[in-house]
């Protein structure tokens, strides 16, 4: 019984369990899909309760995180998606999928994942917020440049910004001023773990048929996903280490350089190009889960 409690409290085990559940019984994902936004908003709220409001009031504390997020997520990770897809992929729909992944902003989950891994939640929060503001210009511009027409409306990004960034920030500021802060601190680890269980189960479950019915299409997508998670994150960590970047910030930088808003890119791909264009997103999402498990182990070894 004690072993079971330990396993159910371990992020890596919970995330792998979510992947297995999604592949084995993914039919329920069509129901849990509707709960993703509020669940992720709750995870965000409890993850940033320790972050002081003062980080938003110092210009020097804002500019650097935003530049880190923009450079690592759009230039480094986005550039890797485009370059590798041109080298390894011939199907037009797959290339369109990678173009959309390059254009969208970082995953909102960078913030709670930073908390779970012992990264810098202030760097993750400020960088992500700035990245979503920048996405109002960058995402449509890249969509036009890479695909020939604007596929992402700024209004939709504003809604995402309000639901998954602004609302949790405001809620966390309220919690910091109440007696709820102690309760939140004691419960946020299981809330984050099992909230992500639902998120991962849903993503894998919605793409279950892709993995099981079309395996011959997967090898180049797997190679790209591996490079853009494991390899890219390790390179970022080593380069940042050479410049003396603290461990917590390096962990968050690895996440910025290996995480995209998969939900947004998948939704756009399905709406404009069909299921095949969403396959790169599905494979990358699966590798993101495996990569988190690896990071959970790797972060403990980092100095």
- CATH 3.90.220.20 holds for 27-301: no
- CA-to-CA separations, 241 to 117, 246, 275, 302, in angstroms, rounded: 17, 8, 40, 10
pLDDT of residue 291: 93
pLDDT of residue 11: 78
Chunked into runs of 10 residues, the chain (303 residues) has average pLDDT values of 66 85 87 85 84 72 92 97 96 92 90 90 90 86 81 73 84 89 85 87 81 82 97 96 95 96 79 78 88 86 73
pLDDT of residue 211: 75
Domain ranges of the chain: 27-301
pTM for this entry: 0.84
pLDDT of residue 151: 66
pLDDT of residue 232: 97
Burial class (CB in 10 A: 0-12, 13-18, 19+), 282: buried
- Residue 60's CB: how many other CB atoms inside 10 A? 6
- Distance between terminal CA atoms of the chain? 34
3-state secondary structure of 91: coil
């Amino acid at each position: 019984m004690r072993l079971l409690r330990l396993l159910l409290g371990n992020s890596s085990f919970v995330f792998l369990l979510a992947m297995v559940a999604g592949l084995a019984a993914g039919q329920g994902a069509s129901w849990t899909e509707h709960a993703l936004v509020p669940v992720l908003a709750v995870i965000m709220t409890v993850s940033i309760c320790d972050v002081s409001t003062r980080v938003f009031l110092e210009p020097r504390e804002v500019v650097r995180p935003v530049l880190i997020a923009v450079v690592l997520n759009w230039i480094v990770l986005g550039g890797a998606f485009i370059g590798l897809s041109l080298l390894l992929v011939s199907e037009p729909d797959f290339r369109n999928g990678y173009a959309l992944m390059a254009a969208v902003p970082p995953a909102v989950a960078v913030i709670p994942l930073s908390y779970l891994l012992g990264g810098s939640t202030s760097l993750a929060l400020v960088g992500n917020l700035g990245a979503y503001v920048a996405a109002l210009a960058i995402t449509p511009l890249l969509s036009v440049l890479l695909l020939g027409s604007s596929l992402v409306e700024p209004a939709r990004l504003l809604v995402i910004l309000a639901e998954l960034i602004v609302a949790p920030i405001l809620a966390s500021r309220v919690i910091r001023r109440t007696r709820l802060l102690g309760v939140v601190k004691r419960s946020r680890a299981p809330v984050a773990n099992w909230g992500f269980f639902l998120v991962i189960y849903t993503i894998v479950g919605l793409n279950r048929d892709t993995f099981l019915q079309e395996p011959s299409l997967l090898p180049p997508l797997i190679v790209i996903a591996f490079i853009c998670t494991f390899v890219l994150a390790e390179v970022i960590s080593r380069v940042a280490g050479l410049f003396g970047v603290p461990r917590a910030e390096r962990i968050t930088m690895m996440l910025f350089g290996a995480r995209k808003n998969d939900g947004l890119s998948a939704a756009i791909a399905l709406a404009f190009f069909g299921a095949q264009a969403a396959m790169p997103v599905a494979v990358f999402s699966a590798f993101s889960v495996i990569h988190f498990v690896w990071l959970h182990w790797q972060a403990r070894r980092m100095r």
